[in-house]
Amino acid sequence: MEIKTRTGSPYPLGATFDGKGVNFSIYSENAEAVELCLFDSPTDAEESTRIRIKERTHQVWHVYIPDIGPGQLYGYRVYGAYEPTNGLRFNPHKLLIDPYAKAINGTLQWNDALFGYEVGNPDGDLSFSEIDSAPFIPKCVVIDTSFDWEGDTPLRIPMHKSIIYETHVKGFTATHPDIPEAIRGSYSALAHPASISYLKSLGVTAIELMPVHHFITDRHLQEKGLTNYWGYNTIGFFAPDVRYAATGTHGEQVREFKEMVKALHQAGIEVILDVVYNHTGEGNEMGPTLSFRGIDNSAYYRLADEPRYYMDFTGTGNTLNARLPNVLRLIMDSLRYWIQEMHVDGFRFDLASALARELHEVDKLSSFFDVIHQDPVISQAKLIAEPWDIGEGGYQVGEFPPGWAEWNGKYRDCVRDYWIGADSMLGEFANRITGSSDLYRDDYRTPAASINFVTAHDGFTLHDLVTYNEKHNEANGEDNNDGDSHNRSWNCGVEGETTDGEINALRAQQKRNLLTTLFLSQGVPMLVAGDEFGRTQKGNNNAYCQDNEISWLNWKEQDEKLLTFTKQLIALRKEHPIFCRRKWFQGMPIKGAGLEDIAWFLPEGTEMEDSHWQNDFARSLAVFLNGQGIRSLNDDGTKVVDQSFYIMFNAFWEPIEYTLPPMKYSKRWVKVLDTAFEKIERSEEFEAEQKVKVGPRSIVVLMATEKI
């Protein structure tokens, strides 16, 4: 059947339905010809129609086709030189995914046809494959963007008041007994009243979803019966992954995602996406040709001095070239789309240092940051960096520019070290729990620049952190060689699960210590889904390929006491602004004398001096937080005030007697939290300068009974 076409427009890129037809637009700088391929069914082995695109404007190829609309399946074939040694890998035998596709129907079916070269040929990637890949690659879908948001607007919860809950769309609901089995593991399940009720009862203000951009599973994982569960292998930066759709695959996944966001917003919960713009799922020179490589390899990727090969700062085989205008535009268009069309509230950038690299070095003045800062839409979203990559100089904690928050890896390491009793300076511990001013203050950032976490998706869960000294990743099929071997964990005396009551009691107390430290620290706390009720991965600290009970939340085996403790702890933080200050403490946080808003004490009740911070054997200290010294204003212009608090940390393995500070700090105190106990409740009262016994490996929190 002959298809009528019109010139169309170069912008916007992608497939855009205007109510009468669809405009198709794709960027390729070095292509010699581009064909648009239309399909009638996702199971079709070949396209029903090929349309040679004749119009080209500034490296953008475009065509308009009337009388087609949402649900239309399509892909591209791009012609040009196949010269891998010159960085060119065009191969029209390979059907290609549109980088701007808003929906992708189905998942990749691995076959040798997906590779631009002949698999098994002695010449490797220098050979040329003439096998058609169309039967094995998922097709792009034209979508209808119309949606009734019912007045939904950004929640704009202040960063310093945020409590982030890192979770996985499927893992959170895969076994939830109160969610219909037919929708478990989907966007719809996350929007289900049972999910939202739980999140509200927990008290978090935002969920940070592990990657939902359409991704691929590596061939070697699939051949081993495993999968890319985490999703850090993107191939579609605009398309919500079809695996998490319960309502359909012809664009319904887009509507389902929007319904999820709307429901969460109605519950007062923001949505932050973990995004992977540093690389794609096409791998190195021996990887498949799925999209960018075949559209214009050298115009999307960072190539080595010998352009047959790729610069790899990500450990995945390739790195997107964020120095190029078209790649920057792709990233910015994607971010803007998720904010404006999908209503998400922020982003956590995976391996963000890779995006900031200019030639080789990480540059915080790079074009990537410049473009984001000047964008009136993206700059207003929550921007969180994973401030490292695997390249030289890639560990950039504290080095990102104003406007950015960072996963604070130094916080994680320091807090873990403190509670396992490793030799470390008390000064660093004090810096970490007061917002890490040594990392962020000089850049005019606030304590909210520090995303504090003790655990994340990558590594041990909280339960496993106190249960295992060694990783146990045998299920990953790599002979336990994958994953980090230095976990700063402590099994409390026995490796793995035990029936020993004393060890289990100590483990439970260590969990409470770590959680209490996290939620009473200045900065933004991030909790990993399931840590609040003792989720275990059986010692697996790299469960990226485990789409099963190892990774899923086990709703039937919850530690109810730990869950109650965590809810009470979050409520305590939210009730008292002293724990989520918007501004820094005055002066150097680890200096004690003469400070109005904070003071540090030895167990003897005397203020700490400079020399005390250098003792690497010290395990115990106390901090006074002055509720009158917050120095911030409420929305109505009134001064933020709170009760004063006195927090005693004892990481020593024996009890320690603390002497409370003089009357000028408070005449009377009441105990509101003691991690030696499973419940948070008010109990004993103490007078100024009275002695308080703090148990081994415990935190005791006292609140002043009057405002000074």
DSSP assignments along 416-466, one per residue: HHHHHT----HHHHHHHHTT-HHHHGGGT--GGGEEE-S--SSS--HHHHT
- Are the C-beta atoms of 422 and 488 separated by less than 8 Å? yes
Taking alpha carbons only, the member of 222, 255, 243, 239 closest to residue 114 is 222
Q: What is the pLDDT of residues 433-473, one digit of tens each?
A: 999 999 999 888 999 999 999 999 999 999 999 999 999 99
Q: Which amino acid is at 451?
A: I
Annotate 566-624 with three-state secondary structure: HHHHHHHHHHCHHHCCCCCCCCCCCCCCCCCCEEEECCCCCECCHHHHHCCCCCEEEEE
Mean pLDDT (whole number) for 500-511: 98
Structure tokens at 236: 């579609």
377: Cβ contacts below 8 Å, ≥ 6 apart = 336, 339, 340
463: Cβ contacts below 8 Å, ≥ 6 apart = 507, 511, 531, 534, 535, 536
What is each CA distance from 209 to 22, 81, 191, in whole angstroms? 31, 40, 13
Residue 593: the pLDDT is 41
516 or 363, greater pLDDT: 516
- Are the C-beta atoms of 480 and 473 separated by less than 8 Å? yes
68: left (phi over 0), alpha (psi -120 to 50) or beta: beta
DSSP 8-class letter at 113: G
Taking alpha carbons only, the member of 220, 291, 245 closest to residue 105 is 245
Pairing type for strands 698-704 and 645-650 reads antiparallel
Q: Which amino acid is at 548?
A: N
- Are the C-beta atoms of 574 and 163 separated by less than 8 Å? yes
Q: Helix, strand, or coil here: 357? A: strand
Which of 292-301, 335-344, 616-625, 644-653 has the least mean pLDDT?
616-625
Q: What is the pLDDT of residues 275-324, one digit of tens each?
A: 999 999 999 999 999 999 999 999 999 999 999 999 998 899 999 998 89
Q: What is the pLDDT of residues 638-697, one digit of tens each?
A: 999 999 999 999 999 999 999 999 998 999 999 999 999 999 999 899 999 999 999 999
Taking alpha carbons only, the member of 403, 358, 371 closest to residue 385 is 403
* Number of other residues whose CB lies within 10 A of the CB of residue 119: 16
**Residue 132 burial (CB < 10 Å; 0-12/13-18/19+)?**
middle
Cross-strand partners of 24: 15, 63
What is each CA distance from 48 to 1, 44, 75, 595, in whole angstroms? 9, 8, 12, 75
Q: Which range in 184-193, 384-393, 604-613 is most confidently predicted, on average pLDDT?
A: 184-193
With 70 as the cut, is the pLDDT of residue 592 above it?
no
Question: What would you report as the CA-atom Rg of the chain, rounded to the nearest whole angstrom?
Answer: 27
Which residues are the active-site residues? 350, 386
**Residue 423 burial (CB < 10 Å; 0-12/13-18/19+)?**
exposed
d(CA 210, CA 543): 13
Taking alpha carbons only, the member of 486, 485, 466, 472 closest to residue 420 is 466
Structure tokens at 558: 């919850």
Residue 359: the pLDDT is 56
- Percent of the chain whose pLDDT exceeds 90: 86
d(CA 60, CA 76): 13
DSSP 8-class letter at 552: S
Residue 417 has, within 13 A of its CA and on its CB side, a CA count of: 18
Domains of the chain: 14-142 (2.60.40.10), 161-277+314-578 (3.20.20.80), 585-704 (2.60.40.1180)
Helix H or strand E segment including 185: none
Residue 443: the pLDDT is 80
With 80 as the cut, is the pLDDT of residue 614 above it?
no
**Residue 244 burial (CB < 10 Å; 0-12/13-18/19+)?**
buried
With 50 as the cut, is the pLDDT of residue 560 above it?
yes
Residues in the chain: 708
Tokens 């030895």 belong to 602
Rounded to a whole number, what is the distance in angstroms from the first to the last CA of the chain? 83
Mean pLDDT (whole number) for 499-527: 98
Mean pLDDT (whole number) for 529-538: 98
Structure tokens at 211: 């990657």
Cis omega (within 30 of 0) for bond into 99: no
What is each CA distance from 702 to 227, 281, 645, 686, 707, in whole angstroms? 48, 51, 6, 9, 13
Tokens 């305590």 belong to 572
Taking alpha carbons only, the member of 271, 121, 299 closest to residue 206 is 271
* Number of other residues whose CB lies within 10 A of the CB of residue 394: 19
Tokens 């966001």 belong to 261
Q: Which amino acid is at 507?
A: R
645 or 613, greater pLDDT: 645
Which of 252-261, 586-595, 600-609 has the least mean pLDDT?
586-595
Q: What is the pLDDT of residues 58-83, one digit of tens each?
A: 999 999 999 999 999 999 999 999 99
- Are the C-beta atoms of 60 and 76 separated by less than 8 Å? no
Torsion angle in degrees (nearest 10) through CA of 241, 244, 247, 252: -20
Q: What share of the chain is helix, strand, coil (3-state, %, to 5)?
A: 25, 20, 55
With bands split at pLDDT 50, 70 and 90, how would you rate the model's confidence at 589? Answer: very low
Torsion angle in degrees (nearest 10) through CA of 136, 141, 147, 153: 70
With bands split at pLDDT 50, 70 and 90, how would you rate the model's confidence at 629? Answer: confident
With 80 as the cut, is the pLDDT of residue 590 above it?
no
Tokens 């520019």 belong to 401
Residue 366: the pLDDT is 72
Average pLDDT, the chain: 94
